[in-house]
Amino acid sequence: MKRRRALGALALGTAGLALGSRSARTSAAPTAPARVVSVGGAVTEIVFALGAAPRLVGVDSTSAWPDAARKLPQVGYMRQLSAEGVLSLAPDLLLATHEAGPPAALAQIGSAGIAVHQLHLRHSPEALRENVRDAAAALGMPAAGRGLDARIASEWAATQARVDALKGPKPRVLFVFAHGGGAPMVGGTDTAVDAMLRLAGAVNAAGTLSGYKPLTAEASIAAAPDVLLITQEGLDNVGGADALLAKPGMALTPAGKAKRIVAMPALYLLGFGPRLPQAVADLADKVRAA
């Protein structure tokens, strides 16, 4: 249940394209912190990609990749951190998404002399590269940051060229959010999935909506999607493809009639971490091959 809640929060937590300053610091990080707690799945992926995994002493429950992250001590869900739990790991640095909280816990951690550094995880390749450089600076690893930044830039250029070369009409894709025990929703504009679909050269079939909205038969039919997109965790949660098509209006859509369903891991699809170029390329391929 905790894992399901965390994965659901990942999708909802990335619903809005975060604005504001490049990063938020509640205290100054040491030059090269030896003990790091990472909060946020994409943040943890960045730490691993920078080669700083040996410094990690704890992560939050959304840090589901790579597998090695799951074996580390957990400090709970990113929005409900316990200051005591973080402090018990004696970190030099808490490196976290801007969505981490509550503020009182972060303040308590900072007042204990722990550096707290937050990254604004917006939904673009440019923001990802900015966060890589920012995280590298906080970790005292500027050279590794420049190397990872260059790698992502090269990979993204290849993905962009690949997407730009795609032929034919753009597929209309409806993303169904189905985590936890609540009713399914669809992802409109100002969400991570909307940004992913645009980057992958597809059309968000729920583009007339903003944020996540309840799934209704009328909306599903009106969206007329060519493909249904869902996280793998969400598909497992609803009970598989047949159960998804039994949801309101799904079987009456072009995607439902042809059973064109694409499922991808939540953090991979929505995380906007270092695997972004690969995730966009995979999404572009999958929605066209469905």
Residue pLDDT, tens place only, 218-233: 989 999 999 999 999 9
Final residue of a domain: which of 99, 126, 161?
161
130, 249: one domain: no
Kindly report, residue by residue over 138-182, the tens digit of the pLDDT.
999 999 999 999 999 999 999 999 999 999 999 999 999 988 767
Say which CATH number the domain at 49 has.
3.40.50.1980
27, 107: one domain: yes
279 part of a folded domain: yes
82 part of a folded domain: yes
Confidence of residue 209 (pLDDT cuts 50, 70, 90): very high
166 part of a folded domain: no
92 part of a folded domain: yes
Give DSSP secondary structure letters for 127-196: HHHHHHHHHHHHTT-HHHHHHHHHHHHHHHHHHHHHHHT--SPPPEEEEEE--TTSPPEEE-BSSHHHHH
23, 111: one domain: yes
Domain count, the chain: 2
What is the reported pLDDT for 22?
A: 37
Final residue of a domain: which of 161, 192, 227?
161
40, 140: one domain: yes
Query: Which carries the bigger pLDDT value, residue 11 or residue 193?
Result: 193
Kindly report, residue by residue over 97-109, the tens digit of the pLDDT.
999 999 999 999 9
167 part of a folded domain: no
What is the reported pLDDT for 181?
A: 67
Q: Give pTM, 2 decimals.
A: 0.88
72, 181: one domain: no
What is the reported pLDDT for 72?
A: 98
Kindly report, residue by residue over 2-45, the tens digit of the pLDDT.
444 444 545 444 433 333 333 444 444 447 899 999 999 999 99
Confidence of residue 248 (pLDDT cuts 50, 70, 90): confident
Kindly report, residue by residue over 41-99, the tens digit of the pLDDT.
999 999 999 999 999 999 999 999 999 999 999 999 999 999 999 999 999 999 999 99
155, 246: one domain: no
200, 94: one domain: no
DSSP 18: -
Q: How far is CA 265 from CA 10, 40, 170, 279, in A?
A: 11, 16, 23, 10
What is the reported pLDDT for 182?
A: 73
185, 132: one domain: no
Domain hosting residue 124, numbered range: 2-161
118, 211: one domain: no
37, 98: one domain: yes
What is the reported pLDDT for 12?
A: 47
Final residue of a domain: which of 133, 161, 189?
161
153 part of a folded domain: yes
Radius of gyration of the chain (CA): 19
141, 259: one domain: no
187, 254: one domain: yes
